[in-house]
Amino acid sequence: MKTPQPAHPTLKSIAVAAGLSVSSVSRALKQHPGIPEATRLRVAKIAEELGYRPDARLSQLMTHLRKDHASRPTCNLAWLSTWDKPGEWSQPWNRDYLIGAKERAADMGYTLDELNCEELRAQPKRINQILKSRGIEGLVLPQFLENHSIAKTLDWSAFATVYIDEYSPTLAGSRASTHYLANAQLALRRIHELGYRRPALWVSEFIDDRSVHAYSSAILWAQWRYFPPPHPPLLLLDGNGDLSDYLARHRPDLLIVQTNSMLPFLHEHGFRVPEDIGVVHLNLASDVEGWAGIDQKHHLVGTSAIDSLIGQLHRREFGVRNSDKHTLIPGEWRDGFTVRSQIR
């Protein structure tokens, strides 16, 4: 006589059908790497045949219980930096990424270890040993360099991962990022509303690459949409070396920048800001206090990265996923003393 199946299949009913323990079934359904792949596939097939569906309310409860254990932090997340600049994540223009990530990790009962990959460049194979010895399962990869020796030796299948900001077609995986295109378009709309008609983008090629060319694309879009020709030409240059000649030749009425050295340079060359020329900064931080421009909400980007990572850990999703999930955080415009209305 066939044993009747429960109206609502449970982990226990799947375990009975599979001849496994309930805990083994739970881990198999979560794709835990400790369960053989053949067993995971067999359990998934049995669950599908029985019509099993996870209880969303129970999942919410377990997340709540994990959060309530915040007083017992575990060291299982790592901030894995490949930058060769010591202290770069404590700089005003970057530090809120890390602050936001640490605060959200602590709120959820985790700790976030900072690891500098540059210290292991000569011995990249040690990274897997270090991470496993510390019980780390989740990695935050800020501005991760895909050609770094650590990237080539990391056991990607053993970790949940989330990138911050950096994008490359060859870097598959989840990421949380500033919404560079939305921010650039917002700045250009506001510049137009203020009455400026000849804005120029003055950023380096590195900065434009980091925005996935959103900055250069947005200025070309805005020239067609808002500003009458002739337009100041688009140049992507490092530093301010050629800026004096550029200003004299093309006479822009506003500069869109991402450097804190622009005001001293303009003052040195006899330009008054904002009387003679306006300045808009694309990444406002304490080093450009009071300027007009875009607050990129780095703190929120950091917290969103941790939310993504913890979600992967709860679902036991390890390794680089085929389906990338991108969280884009739009910034906000801030008025400042570096611009003024041109409408008369």
Residue of higher predicted confidence among 73 and 175: 175
Label residue 207 exposed, middle or buried (CB < 10 Å: 0-12, 13-18, 19+).
buried
For residues 233-252, give the mean pLDDT: 87
d(CA 211, CA 217): 10
* Residues in contact with 302: Cβ distance below 8 Å, sequence separation at least 6, in sequence order: 96, 97, 98, 99, 100, 101, 102, 103, 104, 164, 176
CATH number of 180-296: 3.40.50.2300
71 pLDDT more than 50: no
Residue percentage of the chain with pLDDT more than 70:
87
Q: Which residues pair with 295 in a beta bridge?
A: 332
H or E, element range at 280 = strand 278-281
- Read off the pTM: 0.77
H or E, element range at 293 = strand 292-295
131 pLDDT more than 80: yes
Residue of higher predicted confidence among 125 and 159: 159
139 pLDDT more than 60: yes
How many Cα neighbours within 13 Å face the side chain of 153? 16
184 pLDDT more than 90: yes
Residue percentage of the chain with pLDDT more than 90:
47
136 pLDDT more than 60: yes
For residues 275-299, give the mean pLDDT: 97
265 pLDDT more than 80: yes
Tokens of 293: 């421009």
Least confident stretch, 108-122, 170-184, 266-280: 108-122
d(CA 182, CA 185): 5
Q: What integer pLDDT is reported at residue 94 of this predicted model?
A: 92
33 pLDDT more than 50: yes
d(CA 60, CA 54): 11
For residues 37-53, give the mean pLDDT: 83
Identical fold between 73-179+300-330 and 180-296: yes
CB atoms within 10 A of CB 154: 21
Q: What integer pLDDT is reported at residue 280 of this predicted model?
A: 98
Q: What integer pLDDT is reported at residue 344 of this predicted model?
A: 67
d(CA 156, CA 80): 13
d(CA 178, CA 33): 32
d(CA 147, CA 333): 35
CATH number of 73-179+300-330: 3.40.50.2300
Q: Which residues of 41-65 are buried (b: 16+ CB within 10 A; e: fewer)?
A: ebbeebbeebebeeeeeeeeeeeee
- Domain residue ranges in the chain: 11-54, 73-179+300-330, 180-296
Output 92-99 pairs: Cβ under 8 A, ≥24 positions apart. Answer: 92/285, 92/286, 92/287, 93/283, 93/285, 93/287, 94/298, 95/298, 96/285, 96/298, 96/299, 96/302, 97/142, 97/164, 97/165, 97/298, 97/299, 97/301, 97/302, 97/305, 98/142, 98/302, 99/299, 99/302
Tracing tokens 């137009």 back to the chain, one arrives at: 192
Mean pLDDT, the chain, rounded, equals 85
Do 164 and 303 meet the contact criterion of CB atoms below 8 Å apart?
no
